[in-house]
Amino acid sequence: IQGVHITLFFLCLSVIISKRRKRRADWAQLGYICTLFVLGTMGNALGARWCEMLFIDDVSYPGGPVAFNTEESSNIITVLGDCVYIVNLWLQDGLLLYRFFVIFRKSYYAMILPTTAFAVTMVLGSLLMASIANPENSFYSGSAFELALAYWSLSIGYTAIMTLAITTRLMYLRWKMKQTLGSDALSQPYVSVSAMLIEGAALYTINGLIFIVSFGLNSNIQNLAIELLGQTQSIAPLMIIYRLLRGQA
């Protein structure tokens, strides 16, 4: 899945670089996609190194890879990997918040609840990073486990609800335009944007639900799911940015 991320990154990069006159928004998008790419690549590399430790370097650890994964969850490699994905998720949620701000015509009153929810996710994420960085804590038990469960549950819910709110608003604007003009022709972009947002949200939400359920049940599926989740956090925004850059939404 890292290959998909790399492909989307270079597609977005090529479109931005090819523009002769770059606006401030283009530079902001360039910085955003580069940050996503660096963090996603770091997370993938750290995850690969952790798997190497699990199944090659420390395969003879008492209790096997499962015991090593649980008892060494405060290892700097896995801690850095988790922290990278947490920060990456902030960037995804931040972009969603910005889209909400634009679609709702920059209404500060409409932003109160979404901004509060975003701030809570950042606080929970910061507390989670501090907790897993403590060698005495385990990612799979105690306060770190509870914080992780709360953090990803809130983030998944945030993504789903925000996407629903934005698409509902777009469909209302489409209906209003159709009533005014009596034609679907000019209202089609609203459908296109809605589909784009739903595609990106579904990619992350489905992977997120698989991870959070397997994590809560302490299933080994979580080890695969979190790596996929980390990459979809980068892929979903890039899918949207690429379509916007290409003028398809």
- Count of C-beta atoms within a 10 Å radius of residue 87: 18
Q: At what angle do helices 188-216 and 142-181 cross, to 10 degrees?
A: 160
pLDDT tens by residue, 112-166: 999 999 999 999 999 999 988 887 777 777 788 889 999 999 999 999 999 899 8
- Count of C-beta atoms within a 10 Å radius of residue 157: 14
| Contact by Cβ (8 Å): 223, 69 | yes
pLDDT of 55 reads 84
Provide the number of structural domains found in the chain.
1
48 lies in which domain range? 2-245
Between 158 and 224, whose confidence is greater?
A: 158
Q: Does the pLDDT value for residue 69 go beyond 90? A: no
pLDDT of 10 reads 94
| Contact by Cβ (8 Å): 46, 78 | yes
Report how far residue 17's alpha carbon sits from residue 26's, in angstroms, rounded to the nearest whole number.
9
Question: Quick one: average pLDDT of 171-192?
Answer: 72
Q: At what angle do helices 76-103 and 24-52 cross, to 10 degrees?
A: 150
Indicate the SS3 state at residue 43.
Answer: helix
Report how far residue 186's alpha carbon sits from residue 174's, in angstroms, rounded to the nearest whole number.
9
pLDDT of 66 reads 78
pLDDT of 188 reads 67
> Strands, DSSP E only, in 58-170?
none
Taking the mean position of all CA atoms in its chain, how far away is CA 46? Answer: 18
Report how far residue 18's alpha carbon sits from residue 8's, in angstroms, rounded to the nearest whole number.
15
Between 6 and 230, whose confidence is greater?
A: 6
Report which of 238, 236, 213, 239 is spatially closest to residue 226, judged by C-alpha positions: 213
Look up the CATH number of the domain holding residue 27: 1.20.1070
Ranked by mean pLDDT, which of 1-5, 67-71, 136-140, 147-151 comes out on top?
147-151
Q: Does the pLDDT value for residue 189 go beyond 90? A: no
Average pLDDT, the chain: 85
